Amino acid sequence: MKIIVDAMGGDNAPQAPVMGAIQANKEYGVGITLVGRGEDILKVLEERQLPIENFYVMASARSAGSTLKFNGKDYVVEELNEHSFDKPIDIALFSAGGGTSEHTVNIAADLKKKYDVTVLTHLTCVSSTREHVMGVVERLRENGIENILALRGDIPSDGHVEKDYSHASDLAAELAAMGDFCIGGACYPEGHPESKNKAEDIRYLKEKVDAGCSFLTTQMFFDNDLFYNFLYRIREAGIAVPVVAGIMPVTNAKQMKRILSMSGTVLPTRFKMLLDRFGDDPAAMKQAGVAYAVSQIIDLVANGIHAIHIYSMNKPDVAEQIKSSLSEILV
């Protein structure tokens, strides 16, 4: 039996899924495949000092020969091929990194075909070649997918990136030249973590819009005043495209700390008090997190903002709770 587990899903990820996989393998002898952010999963394995007899690192040909440090030891990366799993492997870890997922097209096509919904695919570029990205784009077009969120993507942990794309604006320009897609881009109300200042960030955002983005979606924010101020500043800079507000209901305090370390989002005092008071009670934290998100959305709608994206973090029940709480408001 082979079991595939989303190591980043759930309230106590990745600790709980990783430890559960170890226990299942030990007690029942089943093979486990963990899928998620590689560095986070390896950190759990190191912190728990789990007994690992053999450790293999595999990747594509472009990364073969490089090294990865684990438990204080350097491991040489092997090229992944059809014989890689001839070795006695009990638990496998697959990490997507910042590259374009091979499954994007299939998932998007299935959603469109089976449920007849408008599909928006995320397409990252920084760790992919132009040939690979354009191959994905062509498959999207063949399947009738018309909406693409053009993203740079995270820099892989090994620092390796391709030379074809440096910024999301490079990808947006290529997609716009094709003329077949509605292109979206990401924006940061508090400024991109890699930008020197907000003025520089807005200047780059203007370049992205000029390259072909017809709408923007924000990174999560927890203070609506920051969002309103951001809208004022980008309108002053001549950015007139629609902006979708990104709201994330926080249902787990530990998960929040990890997200904050990655995004650089600032928490208002009111939200910090919520985390301090309910962070150790999962049920109360979930209820409080949903209530806070609902209050943000009500304020946004009251101020004329009707395009809102919910970062549900693979929790459809949370999205349903928010929808139910706004049944008479979102009509």
pLDDT of residue 72: 82
Residue 71: how many other CB atoms lie within 10 Å: 12
pLDDT of residue 280: 87
Sites in the chain below the pLDDT cut of 50:
97-100
At 172-188, the pLDDT tens digits run: 999 999 988 999 999 99
* Highest CATH level, class, for 109-325: alpha beta
pLDDT of residue 186: 95
**Distances in Å between the alpha carbon of 311 and those of 154, 246, 290?**
18, 7, 11
pLDDT of residue 263: 62
pTM of the model: 0.71
DSSP letters for 2-37: EEEEETT-STTTTHHHHHHHHHHHHHH--EEEEES-
pLDDT of residue 92: 65
- Name the residue ranges covered by the structural domains of the chain: 2-94, 109-325
Q: How many CA atoms lie within 13 A of 167 on its CB side?
A: 17
Mean pLDDT across the chain: 85
At 232-246, the pLDDT tens digits run: 999 999 999 999 999
pLDDT of residue 98: 44
